[in-house]
Amino acid sequence: MSRYAMAIDLKACVGCAACSVACSVENEMPVGTHRLWIRNTTIGTFPDLVVEHRPEACLHCENPPCVPVCPTGCCFVTADGIVDLDVKRCIGCSACIAACPYDARSMHPAGYVTKCDFCKHRVADGRAPACVETCPTLCRTFGDLMDPQSEVSIAIRQARRVDVLRPGLGTGPNLYYLNAPAKFGLVGGEGSRS
């Protein structure tokens, strides 16, 4: 059993969207549907500026609000902590989309919900998720949090600062943002002053 997690070092990320394109191609997302997207935010006034490039996707919450609202049991959490879904059971009711505080789920035009699954097919082969493998700034790490020697554990340990999105909701995200560029952490997150 593992506890899979991802970390993105915002000091290195340039918001280039290679991860997002790789994700869409790998997972055959139709144009217009995204499991992974980039939010680029500017704060400050000329010339004192901060730009945060923040890729976002499903955070594989420890307490995922999206799972208990699913009426067919299509949404579930694997033993390794991947919040996954069995599209064969999906009725497209959008309850999980409504429950996700991070807009991470979207409706596939084929009529079922889709979202990041940590590229479980690659992980099963011992490969990194498509976004992690391709990222040209090497700012993404993926691995097992239970293993203190995993890349992701090390990256989180060594970071100057670690943030998650909307910690106040108690969802327990497993997508960590390292070294946020703004002094107060993630832009527009809780306690932000944007």
Partner 1 sequence: MTEFYGLPSPQHFWHWPTLIHFALVALAGGAAVVTAVAHITKHPKVRTYALVTMVLIVLDLFTLWIESPARFRFTHVWIFLAFTPTAPIWLGAWGLTISLVASFFVWIGKGPRLLWSAALVVGSLLALVYPGLALAVNVNRPLWTPVLLVLFPLTGMLTVVAIAALFRQAWAPRWLTVLSLASAVMGVVYLFALATGAAEARQAYAYLWSHGGPWFVVALVLLAAVPALVRRAPIAAALVPIVGATLIRSLIVEIGQVQHFGF
Partner 2 sequence: MKLQRREFIKLSCATVGAMTLGSGAMAQIFPDGFPNPFRAPKGKWFDRDVTTVYSYCENCFWKCGIKAFVEGGKVRKIDGYAENPKSRGMLCPRGQGAIAQTYDPDRLKRPLIRVEGSERGDGHYREASWDEALDYIADKMLAIKAEHGSESVAFFAHGSGDNWFAEHLPGAWGSPNAAKPSVSLCTAPRETASQYTFGRGIAGHEQIDWDETDYIVLIGHHIGEDTHNTQLQQFAQALTRGAELVVVDPRFSTAASKAKDWLPIKPGTDTALLLAWIHVLIEEDLYDAAYVEAYTLGFDELTAHVAEFTPEWAEAITEIPADTIRRIAREMAAHAPRAVIPVNRHAVWYGESDTHRMRSLYLVNVLLGNYGVEGGYYLCDAPIVEKFPHPELPLTPSAGGCGGGATDVVADSPFRDSVDRGRFFGSATAVQEMIEPMITGEPYPIKGLICFGVNLFHAVPMVERTKEALGHLDLYVAIDVMPMEHVMWADVILPEATYLERHDDLSLIAHKTPFITARFPAIEPMYDTKPGWWIARELGIKLGLAEYFPWEDMEEYLDRRLSSIGSSLEAMREQGTIVRRGRPYLKDWEALNRNPFGTPSGKIEIYSERFAEAGLDGLPVYLPQPDGPAEHYRLLYGRSPVHTFSRTHNNPVLMDMHGENEVWLNAREADRLDLRQHEYVWLENQDGVREGPVRVLVTERIRPDCVYMVHGFGHKAPRMRVANGRGASDTHLQTHYDLDPVSGGAGTNNNFVRLLKGAPNPNHPPIAQVANEKRSPA
CA–CA separation, 40 and 52 (whole Å)? 6
Residues 104-133 that bind partner 2 (CB under 8 A): 110, 112, 121-122, 130, 133
Does 146 engage in binding with partner 2 (CB under 8 A)?
no
- Does residue 158 touch partner 1 according to CB under 8 A? no
Q: From the list partner 1, ligand SF4, partner 2, none, which binds 194 (C-beta under 5 to 8 Å, kind-based)?
A: partner 1
* Among the listed residues 59, 95, 128, 159, the single contact to partner 1 using CB under 8 A: 95
* Alpha-helix residue ranges (DSSP H) falling in the chain: 18-26, 95-99, 120-124, 130-134, 151-158
Contact flag: residue 15 with partner 1 (CB under 8 A): yes
Site string for partner 1, 17-56 (x = CB under 8 A): x--x---x---------x-xxxxxxx-------------x
CA distances from 164 to 114, 123, 161, 172, 179 (A): 22, 23, 10, 8, 11
Three-state DSSP at 83 gives strand
Between CA 188 and CA 166 the distance in angstroms is 9
177 lines the binding site for partner 1 (CB under 8 A): no
Q: Judged by CB, which is closer to partner 2: 96, or 119?
A: 119
**85 is a site residue for ligand SF4 (CB under 6 A):** no
Task: Locate the DSSP E strands across the chain.
Answer: 4-9, 37-45, 48-56, 75-77, 83-85, 106-108, 112-114, 140-144, 162-163, 175-178
Q: Does 68 bind partner 1 (CB under 8 A)?
A: yes
Q: Which stretch binds ligand SF4 (CB under 6 A): 7-15, 27-35, 153-161, 185-193?
A: 7-15
